Amino acid sequence: MGVTEDLADALAKDTIEAAEATGDERLIDEVAKQLGASSQTTQEAYMTAVRVRLAEKRARSFLQDKLKDYLASQKAQKG
């Protein structure tokens, strides 16, 4: 990745963590607005990184749930 993408990704990671810690889902959009005021390119890279990170997080959670269900069904069959 280039400098813009690296910085935007790091900011996205930190913002997602802060939003989760504070329970303020608007924080992501507020940071995007601040970025857009000075660099639309960085704002776009940030929003892409946010979307990718949140999508990965949802998919990972889905996968973990499926694995838990599978393991529980295997345990029940043996039980």
pLDDT in tens, 45-66: 999 999 999 999 999 999 999 9
| C-alpha–C-alpha distance, residues 75 and 72, integer Å | 5
Domain boundaries, the chain: 3-78
The tokens describing 50, both together, are 């946010």
State the pLDDT confidence band at 79, using cuts at 50, 70 and 90.
confident
Q: Kindly state the average pLDDT of the residues 23-31.
A: 97
The tokens describing 18, both together, are 């802060």
Angle formed at CA 54 by CA 40 and CA 60, multiple of 5 degrees: 155
State the pLDDT confidence band at 1, using cuts at 50, 70 and 90.
confident
| C-alpha–C-alpha distance, residues 3 and 42, integer Å | 10
The tokens describing 40, both together, are 């639309």
